[in-house]
Amino acid sequence: MENFELVILLLDATLRTSTPLILAALAGMFSERSGTINLALEGMMLGGAFSAAAVAFYMDDPWIGLLAAIATTIGLSLLHGFACITHKGNQVVSGMAINILMSGLTALVGIALFAQGGKTPALDKAARFQPITLPGAEAVKDVPIIGPIYFELLSGHNILVYIAFLAVPAAWWVMYRTRFGLRLRAVGENPGAVDTAGIGVVAMRYRAVICSGVLVGMSGAYLSTAQGASFLQDMTAGKGYIALAAMVFGKWRPFPALAACLLFGFLDAAATRLQGVVLPVIGEVPVQLVQALPYVLTVILLAGFIGRAIPPKALGRPYVKER
Amino acid sequence: MSTTVQLPRWIDVGALPLLNLLLALVVSGLVVLAIGENPAEVVEILLYGAFGYEEAWGYTLYYTTNFIFTGLAFAVAFHCGLFNIGAEGQAYVGGLGVTLAALYLDFLPFPIMLVVGMLAAMIFGAAWAYIPAYLQARRGSHIVITTIMFNFIASSLMVYLLVNVLRPEGSMTPESEQIAENLRLPFIHDIAGALGIEMASSPLNLSFVYAILASVMVWLFIWHTRWGYAIRTVGANAVAATYAGIEPGRFIIIAMMISGALASFMALNEIMGVQHRLLIDFTAGYGFVGIAVALMGRNHPFGIFLAALLFGMLYQGGAELSFEIPTISNDMVVVIQGLVILFTGAMEHMFRPRVTKMYTAWRLRRDAQEAV
């Protein structure tokens, strides 16, 4: 029974750690399926987290904070698009530039506004997303097995966690069941053909990076106004890159990407609990090994040892209409 | 399409990058204004901090050294058409090589240690670059993603080693032991002092001379050797290279290993030269800035030197800035870096069409006048 509770707690933590990854991985997917590499997830997440916390602090409302985060990340997405789509700049360089820029800018503006060494002031309850108790959770709380699963694991998260999990089927539907999705994927595979059909490649790619901005903005807001209670300097700590890895690991597809995010989130949740714990047979597992595992697994996948990850064909190539 | 004239070299590698740089600096100035400070004052403090007194020069060139190495590293891979984002990790692991050599081969006399330390850094850095290179060349895994992943893997590996293996017993901080005094790279002010020249003390050390030599070597290698030619051919067109009898995979691996070795030299400056021990995150983002340095320098060693000097200046001047104006932290320099990378790297083509158009119009008019 004790083990069961432990597992429930671990899975509960997994849901919380994988939420920002899911949103960011979906964001990356929208951008990359349309042919624009998005290494800027990390920087955008950071920008979103900062805007959300700063605005939520002033307005005392997490929803306005969320909107501010989304506005910021859409702005950054448009900047990325302006460099890569309009001016055919290098997508990798643009992404790295945004990451470096945001790492500095969030701290700089943070110091200028709040003078707390780059942090935003701690948000009180009203300015944060609060846990939601699902209907009937209290009632089934004491039922064995189902009780803990429903009450501990599924209920009691904030709204962004549920949004993230609902975003996966929604993204799938948009991507595979709508005209917009079909065109978006086509633009990432064969932009020439799409252009021939009379659909603007540039406009299509801009729409894709805007979708990307909306999603990654939510993941940033989650970090500072739902999971945490303030913005901290460089608080994303590589989560944008892990999300990128999860997207690649999920082969640029929504549901496999969700699975990868859950796996990487689980590793993250497990790493904090495994610190200094001696397991039977294996002995003490170095935390660093668990932390490096998402990256190692992604490299192994990319090397073609566990299935094949084939990126969109036109990924990274600016579209040149005519020479 | 209308006729266009090829831009002359001075516009292509001189005026256009300068224009982009200028734009980056103007936007940086706006950021300074936005947080309520005076851009002119900031520029003054920056320049004074970087060049205003003798010691500052030493610091500026010390930072420049790191940027030369990481810039060259990126450039060599780029000539082969590869985006090596992994200089950070390669330099980190290279630092492990230097440290291990200096700690466990400490019986060696200094002149031999100079070579051994360099070789150790090279081997470790190149080995770390080899895996992504192999995966790109033989298994088609995208080098950008794998090198990013390898940065994180290197980071975890080094934290593990520093905490569990290299940390001296009884010490709480995750650092390695100090390198023996006779195995450290001499500071330039010490060398100058021995020659009877008085110089302010600074962290500038022998590795700056390495950096200059490495720049010359890279220039010779890329433009005046068979391998350099092969690397450039693969970078320009891998399919054509195959028809020319050059096997792309082989040169992808060679270029990446050289790139990793060059990145690892940064560890010579930091560990053998200044810190004298292996520290967590001693690479401090130099590897990423190397991308900007190389792009601004148009992947040519001389351009890289100039760009490295610019970033060295920003680093040193930025440190001064955070002393002088409390509201401006070192993060301002990070912002400027980001903007410089954005405008000179990602948006490098922004002015090109317009400038080409203007230049073409000017040329046509001039030719028409000459014809009359």
Burial of B275 (0-12, 13-18, 19+ CB in 10 A): buried
A130 Cα to chain B: minimum distance (Å): 32
CB-CB under 8 Å, A241 with B157? no
Which residues on chain A are in Cβ contact (under 8 Å) with B84?
none
Assigned domain for A221 exists: yes
Full residue range of the structural domain in which residue B248 is found: 55-290
Helix, strand, coil percent values for chain B (each to nearest 5): 75, 0, 25
- pLDDT tens figures, B84-93: 999 999 999 9
* pLDDT at position A234: 87
Assigned domain for B179 exists: yes
A189 Cα to chain B: minimum distance (Å): 17
Residue B1 has pLDDT above 50, yes or no: no
* pLDDT at position A1: 58
B90 Cα to chain A: minimum distance (Å): 16
Dist CA A254 CA A171 (whole Å): 7
Enumerate residues 6+ apart whose C-beta is below 8 A from A280: none
Dist CA A290 CA A294 (whole Å): 8
Q: Which of A91, A118, A295 sits opposite B149 (nearest CB)?
A: A295
CB-CB under 8 Å, A238 with B341? no
Query: How many domains in chain A?
Result: 1
CB-CB under 8 Å, A299 with B146? yes
CB-CB under 8 Å, A322 with B341? no
As beta bridge partners, residue A284 has: A278
Are B188 and B204 in contact by the 8 Å Cβ rule? The answer is yes
Q: Which of B31, B141, B338 sits opposite A302 (nearest CB)?
A: B141
Which residues on chain B are in Cβ contact (under 8 Å) with A37?
144
Helix (H) / strand (E) containing B110: helix B110-139
* pLDDT at position A289: 85
Dist CA A35 CA A22 (whole Å): 20
Cα distances from B316 to residues A105, A112, A116, B100, B332, in angstroms, run: 19, 22, 24, 30, 12
Assigned domain for B155 exists: yes
Assigned domain for B45 exists: no
Full residue range of the structural domain in which residue A38 is found: 2-302
A 152-211 residues inside an 8 A Cβ radius of B:
none
Assigned domain for A112 exists: yes
- First-to-last CA distance in chain B? 26
| Nearest one of B368, B248, B340 to B21, comparing CA atoms | B340
Instruction: For residues B143-151, give the mean pLDDT.
Output: 90
Phi (first) and psi of residue B187, to 5 degrees: -75, 150
DSSP state letter for A281: T
Token match 């951008």: residue?
A31
Residue B293: closest CA among chain A residues belongs to which residue? A93
Which residues on chain A are in Cβ contact (under 8 Å) with B148?
39, 241, 244
pLDDT: which is higher, B187 or A73: A73
Residue A86, token pair as written in the block: 């309009």
What's the half-sphere exposure (Cβ side, CA atoms, 13 Å) at B275? 19
Dist CA B242 CA B249 (whole Å): 10
Rounded to the nearest 5 degrees, what angle is found at the Cα of B23, between the Cα atoms of B22 and B26?
Answer: 85
Enumerate residues 6+ apart whose C-beta is below 8 A from A126: A60, A61
B193 Cα to chain A: minimum distance (Å): 39
Rounded to the nearest 5 degrees, what angle is found at the Cα of A212, between the Cα atoms of A207 and A214?
Answer: 95
- First-to-last CA distance in chain A? 69
Assigned domain for B313 exists: no
**E strands along chain B, which residues?**
none
A 90-119 residues inside an 8 A Cβ radius of B:
90-94, 96-105, 107-109, 111-112, 115, 118
Residue A114: closest CA among chain B residues belongs to which residue? B327
The confidence band for B66, taking pLDDT boundaries of 50, 70 and 90, is very high
Are B78 and B294 in contact by the 8 Å Cβ rule? The answer is yes
Q: Which of B19, B35, B159, B347 to mutate to test the interface with A (most CBs of A within 10 A)?
A: B347
Instruction: For residues B274-278, give the mean pLDDT.
Output: 89
Task: Check if A298 contacts B (Cβ < 8 Å).
Answer: yes
CB-CB under 8 Å, A87 with B350? yes
The confidence band for B64, taking pLDDT boundaries of 50, 70 and 90, is very high
Are A70 and A243 in contact by the 8 Å Cβ rule? The answer is no
Low-confidence ranges of chain A (pLDDT < 50): none
pLDDT: which is higher, B59 or B199: B59
Residue A188 belongs to a domain with what CATH number?
1.10.3470
| Nearest one of A295, A160, A161, A286 to A239, comparing CA atoms | A295
B335 Cα to chain A: minimum distance (Å): 5
Residue B69, token pair as written in the block: 């190495």
Q: Which of B142, B289, B346 sits opposite A94 (nearest CB)?
A: B346
Query: How many domains in chain B?
Result: 1
B69 Cα to chain A: minimum distance (Å): 19
What is the value of pTM for the model shown?
0.89
B85 Cα to chain A: minimum distance (Å): 9
Residue B53 has pLDDT above 50, yes or no: yes
As beta bridge partners, residue A283 has: A279
CB-CB under 8 Å, A87 with B338? no
* pLDDT at position A281: 67
Assigned domain for B232 exists: yes
Assigned domain for A80 exists: yes
Token match 């600016």: residue?
A318
Assigned domain for B5 exists: no
CB-CB under 8 Å, A109 with B145? no
Question: In the A/B pair of chains, how many CB contacts fall below 8 A?
Answer: 153
| Nearest one of A213, A298, A246 to A43, comparing CA atoms | A213
Dist CA B337 CA A108 (whole Å): 13
Three-state DSSP class for residue A284: strand
- pLDDT tens figures, A213-264: 999 999 999 999 998 889 998 898 889 998 998 998 888 999 999 999 999 8
Assigned domain for B336 exists: no
A147 Cα to chain B: minimum distance (Å): 39
Instruction: For residues B108-132, give the mean pLDDT.
Output: 91
Assigned domain for B327 exists: no
Which residues on chain A are in Cβ contact (under 8 Å) with B32?
none
Give pairs for B9-18: CB < 8 Å, separation 24+. B11/B355, B11/B359, B13/B298, B13/B300, B13/B303, B15/B355, B16/B348, B16/B351, B16/B352, B16/B355, B17/B296, B17/B298, B17/B344, B17/B348
Residue B249 has pLDDT above 70, yes or no: yes
Dist CA A174 CA A181 (whole Å): 5
Residue A239: closest CA among chain B residues belongs to which residue? B152
* pLDDT at position B104: 87
Instruction: For residues B152-177, give the mean pLDDT.
Output: 87
